[in-house]
């Protein structure tokens, strides 16, 4: 394999993977008996909660003539389309009423469905499962089941705090994802007086190993300039702190930091909204600072700052990408990005050939870079 490889040659740029769960909306923005719009992988959705508070997700288009269902009436159980009044069960999309039918017309109303998707609330977010596109004939297709539940944040005690941050990024899913796994941008993008300067650059060496559908930065003592590490050091011995970071397809970055009985976990997702737009959602759970009134605010402040720096960088990068420049990925700092493209390609190939996925990594690897 050559040292320099443009991402385009490793996987189709901005291809959005179906057959996975995606974060759609923060749970606290979705209210009972109300309808909200969301977009995932260029699919417009209407999301809501029924009377009992259970969330649901439907395709935001009436199967009759395409009217957005979010314009309809919702009584906490069924959605009535605003165009001709067809009414659908909010959870499975099954048609209940077609008001224009006369008593002697025997169209089987209950065989008609508005597109609906598996939907779950998990760790402060409404998740939606997007199955692989079904064969044509939509309108009569029953909803699909998700093969497994929505991803969870790993927690190590009963009591913990939870907070989220979200930001839109005007770049494709691939640039969004590799921009967050890339270790070399830190000293240039994430400078702050209370954090680090570019003079803090030093050589790092990290071990990686393959895991199903992804790769892991093996458990190690975290780099002394990571935010949660600095906070945790107030509680525990520097040496007793370990961190582990997993990336798994399609877009999950799971970081766990543990120091004795204290822990900090985050699940960051970069979600494709359209071909040229993605959104980062960071959800963190922790049991440190639970008693400190400003603890969560402090953590949120630190993360908000990072996320904003990344967002601003990608906004500028999008300008550069507009005219399709040649790009390259180098070893070792861009190796995780290469694995990402290879995993994506291997996943698609496994699907195409209906066979087991061939993992691009054959075993543990040590990477070195300066950051």
């209210």: which residue's tokens? 31
| Span near Fe ion by CB under 5 A; candidates 167-175, 192-200, 266-274, 303-311 | 303-311
ω into 147 cis (within 30 of 0): no
Position 255 contacts Fe ion (CB under 5 A)? no
Position 89 contacts Fe ion (CB under 5 A)? no
> What is the closest distance, in whole angstroms, from the C-beta atom of residue 83 to ligand FES in the complex?
4
Measured CA to CA, the distance from residue 25 to residue 125 in angstroms comes to: 6
End-to-end CA distance of the chain: 25
Position 80 contacts Fe ion (CB under 5 A)? no
Please say which residue, 84 or 358, places its beta carbon nearer to ligand FES: 84
| CB contact set of 121 (below 8 Å; sequence gap of 6+) | 27, 55, 127
> What is the closest distance, in whole angstroms, from the C-beta atom of residue 70 to ligand FES in the complex?
12
67 makes contact, choosing from ligand FES, Fe ion, none, with CB < 5 to 8 Å by partner type, with ligand FES
Q: C-alpha distances in angstroms, 109 versus 63, 114, 194, 238, 306?
A: 12, 12, 63, 65, 51
Please say which residue, 81 or 245, places its beta carbon nearer to ligand FES: 81
Residues of the shown chain interacting with ligand FES in the complex, contacts defined by CB under 6 A: 62, 64-65, 67, 81, 83-84, 86
Q: C-alpha distances in angstroms, 259 versus 114, 147, 217?
A: 49, 34, 17
310 makes contact, choosing from ligand FES, Fe ion, none, with CB < 5 to 8 Å by partner type, with Fe ion
> What is the closest distance, in whole angstroms, from the C-beta atom of residue 60 to ligand FES in the complex?
12
Please say which residue, 87 or 342, places its beta carbon nearer to ligand FES: 87
Position 310 contacts Fe ion (CB under 5 A)? yes
> What is the closest distance, in whole angstroms, from the C-beta atom of residue 75 to ligand FES in the complex?
16
Closest by CA to 313, choosing from 284, 280, 271, 268, is 280
Put the strands of the sheet holding 119-122 in their side by side order: 20-26, 125-130, 119-122
21 makes contact, choosing from ligand FES, Fe ion, none, with CB < 5 to 8 Å by partner type, with none
DSSP H stretches of helix in the chain: 173-181, 186-189, 227-232, 295-321, 335-352
65 makes contact, choosing from Fe ion, ligand FES, none, with CB < 5 to 8 Å by partner type, with ligand FES
> What is the closest distance, in whole angstroms, from the C-beta atom of residue 39 to ligand FES in the complex?
20
Give the orientation angle of helix 335-352 with respect to helix 173-181, to 10 degrees: 140
Residues that bind Fe ion (CB under 5 A): 310
């Amino acid at each position: 394999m050559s040292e320099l490889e443009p991402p385009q040659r490793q996987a189709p740029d901005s291809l959005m993977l179906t057959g996975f769960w995606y974060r759609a909306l923060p749970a606290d923005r979705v209210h009972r008996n109300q309808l909200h719009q969301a977009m995932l992988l260029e699919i417009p959705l209407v999301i809501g909660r029924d009377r009992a508070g259970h969330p649901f997700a439907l395709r935001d288009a009436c199967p009759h003539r395409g009217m957005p269902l979010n314009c309809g009436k919702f009584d906490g159980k069924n959605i009535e389309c605003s165009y001709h009044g067809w009414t659908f069960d909010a959870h499975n999309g099954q048609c209940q009423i077609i008001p224009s039918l006369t008593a002697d017309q025997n169209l089987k109303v209950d065989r008609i469905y508005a597109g609906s998707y598996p939907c779950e609330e998990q760790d402060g977010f409404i998740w939606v499962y997007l199955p692989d596109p079904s064969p044509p004939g939509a309108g009569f297709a029953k909803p699909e089941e998700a093969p497994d539940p929505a991803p969870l944040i790993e927690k190590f005690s009963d009591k913990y705090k939870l907070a989220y941050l979200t930001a839109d990024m005007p770049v494709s899913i691939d640039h969004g994802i590799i921009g967050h796994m890339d270790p070399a941008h830190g000293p240039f993008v994430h400078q702050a007086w209370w954090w680090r300067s570019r003079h803090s650059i030093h050589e790092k060496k990290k071990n990686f190993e393959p895991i199903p559908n992804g790769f892991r930065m093996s458990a190690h003592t975290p780099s002394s300039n990571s935010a949660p590490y600095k906070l945790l050091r107030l509680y525990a011995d520097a040496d007793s702190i370990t961190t582990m970071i997993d990336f798994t397809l399609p877009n999950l970055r799971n970081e766990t930091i543990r120091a004795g009985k204290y822990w900090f976990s985050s699940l960051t997702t970069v979600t494709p909204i359209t071909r040229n737009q993605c959104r980062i959602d960071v959800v963190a759970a922790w049991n440190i600072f639970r008693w400190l009134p400003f603890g969560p605010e402090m953590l949120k402040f630190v993360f908000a700052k990072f996320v904003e720096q990344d967002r601003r960088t990608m906004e500028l990068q999008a300008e550069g990408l507009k005219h399709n420049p040649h790009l390259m990925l180098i070893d070792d700092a861009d190796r995780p990005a290469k694995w990402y493209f290879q995993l994506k390609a291997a996943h698609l190939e496994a699907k195409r050939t209906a066979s087991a996925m061939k993992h691009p990594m054959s075993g543990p690897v040590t990477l070195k870079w300066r950051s």
